[in-house]
Chain A
């Protein structure tokens, strides 16, 4: 597919800025979920700077797209973006993990502007995103009395008020609740729900598929009735394409699952080699030095 190369290079530039902000966060906190945050950078960059319908000046805009970060320990990537969008002040970057900071250890809707979901305990985000998606169906389908049926046996074309996006980690797909939510989304035909799995192949105890096998992963989602596709989660062209496609498939009555193949600790050799989950001290400092040399300083 032909691409707007200007857009791609702009997004690449934004991804580097996001990384620099992440390094500022890590440098100050000397601790962080380095692996899972770095594997997420391109995905959230494409979402926030290109795809999502949001207004950084009005985070509570009722028609904004919702983003549920189920793997909420990787909130560093979202904080880095919210600072870049001007939602959070730049000074907050150095306050991660601190008392009273909007940059809580795990994303927290109650105390941070621009965060739609409070997470931490894994496996719950897809259910929440399904609730948001169902609410959208209620809000729109209920208005015309002739379309009051929530489960449209006939599919009605209309523009969604908003879409509900969820980002799952691969490790949290071990949670049974993910599959409860997968069944639920199919039952209620939540085609306004787009789930992205950051499939970085490693969880804390080792390779995700050794800890507990999730493969055949694509078949699992398919058998639950989802529209499924796989992409390279570090290729911005593929990400932009698949997000546009998934949105345009709206109206088919199927929830969408994008399995993004990624690398844990992407871009930083020591984090990639160690499959770092949570880094501390010298592990973080070394990575930040390498990152700054590679992606530049703020």
Chain B
């Protein structure tokens, strides 16, 4: 088994949403300015709110435009509203409202968007464009936690951060439980899950799971790959990208989202501006998602999109070959 960093201990699978639940309860217990804004899609830790602070639950119904701007009004008065729904509803449905009424004045509103790149609901709910849509918005911090532990710490961190944040809650198959309880989550900082010298995989969200599995596959072939968890997509940890490019010389990005506007493009920008290195972006091509069953023996859409560990491992080898070709040409 590969040698991981000290805060990594792989231990079965767990839902990201469970971590968000825990984080939400802890944050809300600590800070009574936090208000749960519901849009008829439940809320993380709702049971805790109902029991301990029912007055801090505001139900807006299926009216996301009003929900976003009303929350901005609460934030203007010093409260910390968290809005929760599907990502396509809480963010995309209210893009213009978020832009003008939240981001323009940097109001302290947190957007929790459930999103699964694949799964049964199909094209409407598998909102793979969400990272691209949000990355272009000024003043917005974007976080895509990789596992249950990081999700809990991320929610508590964004509750303390003053400013608007979009946190993606992975709704696809449960990722691996990756981090130990003392994992030091730092908003805006990448975390090196495993050091390596031959190439680097930069992953976010669920794809850190597949990247770790890809690392195990590559290790069997004698390839020592570095794996970076880039859970904060904006602002991006440029330093980590540049260091990876300089020290390993081949970069693969992995995200279960559209490769347009996503993590891959963000990393590509840093590479081409500061430290050019061959890059392969693993993600979903310019297409919509669809319905697909997630079963232990087969995950139909993961296979369809080519986002499994084997696909990531293959891309790493391809990228290393690309590096060698470029060296020869020089």
Closest to A109 in B: B105
User: B82 CB to closest chain A CB, in angstroms?
Assistant: 14
Residue from A109, A119, A135, A183 in contact with B63 in the complex, judged by beta carbons closer than 8 Å: A183
Are B77 and A139 in contact, CB atoms less than 8 angstroms apart? yes
- The size class of the interface chain B forms with chain A is 20 to 34
CB-CB contacts of A187-201 with B at 8 A, as 1s and 0s? 010000000000000
- Cβ proximity bits B57-91 to A, threshold 8 Å, 1 near / 0 not: 01011010110111111111111000000000000
Contact indicator A142/B55 (Cβ below 8 Å):
yes
Residue from B61, B63, B69 in contact with A128 in the complex, judged by beta carbons closer than 8 Å? B69
A110 to B138 Cα, complex, angstroms: 14
In the assembled complex, B97 has its CB within 8 A of some CB on chain A: yes
Report Cα–Cα, A86/B60, bound state, in Å: 39
**When the two chains form the complex, which single residue of B35, B66, B78 contacts A177, counting CB atoms closer than 8 Å?**
B66
Determine the residue in chain A with the shortest Cβ distance to B97.
A124
Q: How far is the CB of A146 from chain B (nearest CB, A)?
A: 12
B65 in complex: contacting residue of A133, A148, A180, CB < 8 Å: A180
Question: Once the chains bind, are A134 and B73 in contact (CB under 8 Å)?
Answer: yes
In the complex, whether B290 has a CB less than 8 A from a CB of chain A is no
**Is A48 an interface residue when CB atoms closer than 8 A count as contact?**
no
- Indicate whether B5 reaches chain A with its CB closer than 8 angstroms: no
Could you list 22 examples of A-B contacts with CB < 8 Å? A109-B104, A120-B100, A121-B97, A121-B99, A121-B100, A123-B65, A124-B69, A127-B68, A127-B72, A127-B101, A128-B69, A133-B73, A138-B35, A138-B55, A149-B54, A176-B65, A177-B63, A177-B97, A180-B66, A181-B66, A181-B70, A183-B61
The answer to the question of B96 belonging to the interface, with a C-beta cut-off of 8 Å to chain A, is yes
Query: Closest residue of chain A to B71, judged by CB?
Result: A131
Instruction: Type the 1/0 row for A117-153, where 1 means its CB is closer than 8 Å to any CB of B.
Output: 0111101100111111111101100100000111000
> Assuming A139-B77, A142-B55, A150-B55, is B100 touching A131 (CB within 8 A)?
no
Q: Say if the beta carbon of A108 comes within 8 Å of chain B.
A: yes
Q: A123-B65, A132-B76 are in contact. List 5 more A-B contacts (CB 8 A).
A: A129-B73, A130-B70, A131-B77, A132-B73, A181-B69
What residues on A are CB-neighbors of B105 within 8 Å?
109-110, 118
Least distance between B80 CB and chain A CB atoms (Å): 11
Q: Say whether chain A's binding surface is mostly helix, strand, loop, or mixed.
A: helix
Q: Which of A131, A139, A148, A176 is the one whose CB lies under 8 Å from B76?
A: A131
Closest A residue, CB atoms, query B75:
A131
Known: A110-B105, A118-B101. A128 touches B70 (CB 8 A): yes
Q: How far is the CA of A176 from the CA of B54 in the complex (A)?
A: 29
- Of A118, A134, A150, the residue contacting B100 (CB under 8 A) is A118
Majority DSSP secondary structure for residues of B touching A: helix
Partner of B73, one of A121, A127, A142: A127
Question: B81 to chain A: closest CB distance in Å?
Answer: 8
Residues of B within 8 A of A118 (CB): 100-101, 104-105
Whether A128 contacts B73 by the Cβ 8 Å rule is yes
In Å, the complex CA distance between A148 and B63 comes to: 26
Contact of A130 among B73, B75, B96, B106 (CB under 8 A): B73
- Given A118-B104, A177-B66, A183-B63: A134 in contact with B97 (beta carbons within 8 A): no
Cβ of A129: which chain B residues have Cβ within 8 Å of it?
73
B73 touches A138 (CB 8 A): no
Q: Say yes or no: A127-B55 contact (C-beta < 8 A), given A110-B105, A120-B100, A136-B77.
A: no
A127 touches B96 (CB 8 A): no
Provide the residues of chain A in CB contact with B74, threshold 8 Å.
Answer: 131-132, 134-135, 138
**B69 engages A135 (CB within 8 Å):** no
CB-CB under 8 A for A131 and B73, given A118-B100, A121-B100, A177-B65: yes
Whether, in the assembled complex, A184 has its beta carbon less than 8 Å from a beta carbon of chain B, the answer is yes
How does the 8 Å CB contact mask read for B31-70 relative to A, with 1 for contact and 0 for none? 0000100000000000000000011001011010110111
- Contact in complex: B76, A119 (CB < 8 Å): no
Q: What's the Cα separation between A177 and B96 when bound, in Å?
A: 12
Contact with A124, one of B63, B78, B100 (Cβ below 8 angstroms): B100
Kindly state the separation between the CA atoms of A177 and B106 in the bound complex, as whole angstroms.
Answer: 21
CB distance from B163 to the nearest CB of A (A): 13
Q: A149-B55, A180-B66, A183-B63 are in contact. Are A131 and B72 (CB under 8 A)?
A: yes
The 3 closest A-B pairs by CB, nearest first: A131-B73, A135-B77, A127-B69
Q: How far is the CA of A14 from the CA of B57 in the complex (A)?
A: 44
Q: Which residue of B lies closest to A134 (CB)?
A: B74
Q: Name A78-113 residues within 8 Å CB distance of B.
A: 108-110
Given contacts A110-B105, A177-B97, contact A134 B58 (CB under 8 A): yes
Residues of A contacting B72 with CB < 8 Å? 127-128, 131
Q: Are A124 and B101 in contact (CB under 8 A)?
A: yes
Within 8 A of B (CB), among A239-280: none
* Complex contacts, A142 vs chain B, CB 8 Å: 55
Is B100 touching A127 in the complex (CB atoms < 8 A)?
no
Partner pick for A148 among B55, B60, B71, B78, CB 8 A cutoff: B55
CA distance A24 to B318 in the complex (A): 67
Cα(A120)–Cα(B99), bound, Å: 11
CA distance A184 to B70 in the complex (A): 9
Q: Contacts of B63 on A, CB cut-off 8 Å? A: 177, 180, 183-184
With both chains docked as a complex, state the minimum distance between the C-beta of A191 and any C-beta of chain B, in angstroms: 16
- B70 touching A127, Cβ below 8 Å: yes
